[in-house]
Amino acid sequence: MADSKMAVSQWSPGFVQELLPAAQKTALLYNLSYLCLGNFSNLERIIRTRAVETQLLFGSSDATMLKCILTSENLVQSLFPMLVTAVEKNKPILAVKFLEKARIWIKDIINDVERIVEKYELHNKDVASSTSDVIQEKIDTDKKITEQDQELKMIKKNQNKMKSELQKTTEELTEIEKKINSKSQEIQEFARSITKTSKGLGIFAAIVPFIGLIVKSIYDAVNDPEHTAHLKALEAELNILIADKTAVKQEQWQIELQMIDWQMKAARASFDRNLIPDPIHLNEVQKSLTRIQEILIQLKNFWENVAQLLDNLEQKTFVGEDLIEDLAELKDEFLDSIKIATEAWCCFGVGCKRASVMFKLQTKDAYKFLEVSPSSLSKDEWQIEYESVKKRLEEIDTPQAVTSSDKPAISE
């Protein structure tokens, strides 16, 4: 597992909340695909099948998030109190026993997340296959058409313009992401180099896997002005990069909304000529599913890192003979670390609960549009349904998509 993958996701406990906008977009984009292609019976069947599969996959994702919630609660309610007892009674062997339990919990989660990520990968291939089916049927139909009318040409021109602008913002966002990862990694390495010189901070870094809180503790515990100044400078640079990322993401979302609007105009024009529209929204569904898969991979990497940190804690603090003697001396630092770790893990649990609620809602309500065939809608009814979906897309909170996982825990 590369440390660079963990740099951003570990800044704070809330990165799982990025699942919310991705899952909302998935359902709404399916709805648009259904509206655009549902007038063709074969394509309606394809969209319906893939949407139901996604619904079921979200149900499995909810089960995985529930396991994350329960494990977070076990850490807070069981492991941490038991570690406190072991430290207070100076019984490192007992602490090792408790850490072994936590390792089993976490290994179980890692296996679960791996399985669900594999399911997303297979499902995304199915959606890609469906997109190809739609394209082929469109090609067969369009052979009968020799030229496009003026309206479709104008729409195509605007779509290409939006596509170019979107590509530009995507490239810009990718570059900023690289810089954020690099800067976060730099902060991570510097912070952990400081914790190596302090046994108390070293224990804290093992129990609290969120780098933002480690940085705060360094500010509180380290009296070296040079270290503090350097750390603040690195944080200031990261703050600027994150502000840039937020601005570009908002710009990107506005362009995506404009593209969706032009795509729907093209679909409407195609309906009037009895043409099959492009399966553009299915492509966007794939992107949203891929985003969810990426976040779940982050979640797997996160738990793997937590398992490694707890293993290091066991080996260096409770098993290493040179540190067992210092356990009593470090008791206050350890207990303080447990207190902050409890708060951090409670926050992480809250994020997982929100993701779980989102998956439940997506499974229950977000796919009710499948109950009505688009072919049964009049033009006015179709337009009303489209405007409703478009409004819900616009209401997805773009700043929320840039969650606390991207924001430093310590502000200037």
For residue 175, what pLDDT is reported? 92
pLDDT above 80 (res 310): no
pLDDT in tens, 320-339: 544 445 555 667 777 777 88
Is 292 in a helix, a strand, or coil?
A: helix
Query: Would you say residue 236 lies in a domain?
Result: yes
For residue 411, what pLDDT is reported? 30
Rounded to the nearest angstrom, the gap between the alpha carbon of residue 374 and the centroid of all alpha carbons in its chain is 32
Query: Would you say residue 43 lies in a domain?
Result: yes
Length in residues, the chain: 412
Query: Would you say residue 410 lies in a domain?
Result: no
DSSP state of 368: G
For residue 8, what pLDDT is reported? 37
Look-up of token digits 């739609």: 134
b (16+ CB within 10 A) / e for 242-268 = bebbbebbebbbebbebbbbbbbbbbb
pLDDT in tens, 89-124: 877 787 788 888 888 888 888 888 888 888 888 888
* Structural domain harbouring 362: 3-397
Could you tell me the CATH number of the domain that includes residue 393? Answer: 1.20.1170
For residue 126, what pLDDT is reported? 85
H helix runs in 222-315, sequence order: 225-272, 280-313
pLDDT in tens, 7-22: 334 445 566 777 778 8
Look-up of token digits 């966002």: 173
Query: Would you say residue 407 lies in a domain?
Result: no
Place 406 in a pLDDT band, splitting at 50, 70 and 90.
very low
Query: Would you say residue 405 lies in a domain?
Result: no
Query: Would you say residue 404 lies in a domain?
Result: no
Residue type at 178?
K
Query: Would you say residue 54 lies in a domain?
Result: yes
Q: How many domains does the chain have?
A: 1
Query: Would you say residue 13 lies in a domain?
Result: yes
